[in-house]
Amino acid sequence: MFRYTWFTVLREIGVWILALAFLLPFYLLIANAFKPDDELYTTSTLAWPTAPTLNNFANVLSAQGNSNVTLGLRNSLIITAGTTCGLVLLGALTGYVISRSTRRWSRWAYYLFLVAIVMPTQLGAVPLYVGARTLGLTGSPWGMIVLYTGMLLPLAIFLYAGFLRQLGIEYEEAAAIDGAGSLQIFVRIVFPLVAPATGTVAILAGLIVWNDFFTALIFLGGSENQTLPVSMYYFIGALVSKWNSIFAVVIISMLPILAFYLFAQKRFIQGFSGGLKG
Amino acid sequence: MLTFGRGWWSLPGVLLVLAIHYVATSIGGAFAFTDWTGIGSFEWVGSRNFTTILEDPTMRGALVNTLLLAATSVVLVNVLGLSLALALNRTLRSRYVLRMLFFMPVVLSPLAISYIWKFIFDYDGPVNAALAAVGLGEWKRAWLADPDLALWAVLLVIVWQTTGIAMVIYTAGLAAVPAEFEEAAALDGAGLWQRFWHVVLPCIRPAVAISTTLGLINGLRIFDQIIALTAGGPAGATETLATKVFQQAFSLGNFGQGAALALLLTMIILVVAIIQQRVTNGTARES
């Protein structure tokens, strides 16, 4: 029934035409990012540059102050990596305890995390901002890592707990019979076994933190620790219709995540289709 | 009976979530009933901030826009996502590459994506250039500066970027539909549409529930796209609850008013989540 026929060939060609139309924005992005200033206003926006230049990229990378994109890139890397480590550590530990405990409180804790996943950040952001300002934590990368970890921890715990419930406890029982202690069982048996869940948590959380703009703008905006989306926002805010420079910064902001995506696309897609299902 | 792990190991995680989600959200909820400006003292003002939302045209507009964007985007994203998943199901040779391409915008920053579309909709941009090229020059306009069209331009950007999420959720759902079901229905003389409606769709109901809930919740939170494309303009025509929260609380320092808008947003999202839970549990009991 599901054979490859002439009708399938037509369908395949049809979807490819759709895909090329769908990807047209990327063509425009690349074509215009390499245009020198004079070509930007004299040639068609749809045309490929006749004298491609890297000047726009050089301008972006040398910007200073609030629009310092290189600094933003570094900060984004530090904050994303820090948050991912925090989430893997606390998420695995908490997810493990609530998935293995049979007590009533662990069930309540599970619901506590479940509700927190859908709660929007906007309402909590106001008092958190006031609190952070009072403690002098606004603009601090450590404060931001703690904040992101707390914000995304419910999702991480949910993913770990879901994975662990399907895993079964035979390995842990075997280790306990061999005389391993609780901590040893967690570190040497459980943590390596949940590696697929760790992958999903790292990809989903890494993506959310890397691309986050709202929280980063509120807590880091204007400081020297602001992340890439915020620097990009300030960089572009200072330009009016200089689309070649705007697109250069857009490309620079996309490259790290795009490279990662092309390298691990299967895991990204699995993370989204399976991870969010629960 | 063996027990694994120690209860207190979960303490840091539980405390962090309690503090950042529950305590902060509750305090924020209390702010919603005050006139606090972020510094000094404040007065309790009852429901005044909420009456303001209903009376102020741009705030009421923001509420309407938020609901409109969430509802229209969830319908379009799911119809398109499911169509793509069906088109790319099974037979196509290049389905993996195609899925990878359609999913690509999902992983990119909504802010960065929106800057590309801002250029596309620009008066001197590709849309107008293409219109002029095919002789429809009189249709040229500044798409994002037109109060009647700007919101639909924003909608297009959201749909373009998030269709990939629906596609992969439906792809996973479709993979679980046994081919024998469809073959049996085909043998009984069911056409393509009948097979989809009576065989495939009932099987992927969980995927529909997940994808629509996720789409609604994300649609209600729209912020980055608006900031990059229109900054809420022209004349407040594309403000959403999230952009209004930011403007009131963080740009103007009206923490009370901002918190009231955020509380409204939170309530809407929780209602959506509860309805989804009910619907999913209902279908689970049926089957």
Of A15, A23, A105, the CB nearest to B92: A15
Residues A130-139 have pLDDT tens digits of 888 888 888 8
Residues A23-35 have pLDDT tens digits of 999 999 999 999 8
Lowest mean pLDDT among A27-36, A80-89, B188-197, B263-272: B188-197
Domain locations along chain A: 60-275
Residue B247 has pLDDT above 80, yes or no: yes
Do A186 and B91 count as a contact with CB atoms less than 8 A apart? Answer: no
- C-alpha dist (Å) from residue A269 to A203, A247, B160, B167: 10, 27, 17, 10
Residue A278 has pLDDT above 60, yes or no: no
Interface ipTM:
0.90
User: Cβ neighbours of residue B273 under 8 Å, at least 6 residues apart?
Assistant: A118, B213, B217
pTM of the model: 0.90
Q: How many helices (H) and strands (E) does chain B have?
A: 15, 0
Domain locations along chain B: 48-286
Do B242 and A182 count as a contact with CB atoms less than 8 A apart? Answer: no
Residue B8 has pLDDT above 80, yes or no: yes
Chain B residue with the nearest C-alpha to that of A255: B108
Residues B71-88 have pLDDT tens digits of 999 999 999 999 999 998
Residue A277 has pLDDT above 50, yes or no: no
pLDDT tier for residue B283 given thresholds of 50, 70 and 90: low
What is the identity of the amino acid at B34?
T
pLDDT tier for residue A40 given thresholds of 50, 70 and 90: confident
What secondary structure does DSSP assign to A53-89, as a single string? -SHHHHHHHT--GGG-HHHHHHHHHHHHHHHHHHHHH
Residue A194 has pLDDT above 70, yes or no: yes
* Average pLDDT rounded to a whole number, residues B155-163: 96
Residue found by looking up tokens 């572009």 in the block: A236
Q: What is the CA radius of gyration of chain A?
A: 24
The CA-CA-CA angle for residues A212, A161, A205, to 5°, reads 15
Residue B222 has a pLDDT of 93
Interface probe with B: pick from A211, A246, A273, most Cβ of B within 10 Å: A273
Domain B48-286 superfamily per CATH: MetI-like (1.10.3720.10)
Beta-bridge mates of residue B44: B34
CATH no. of A60-275: 1.10.3720.10
A153 in contact with B, Cβ within 8 Å: yes
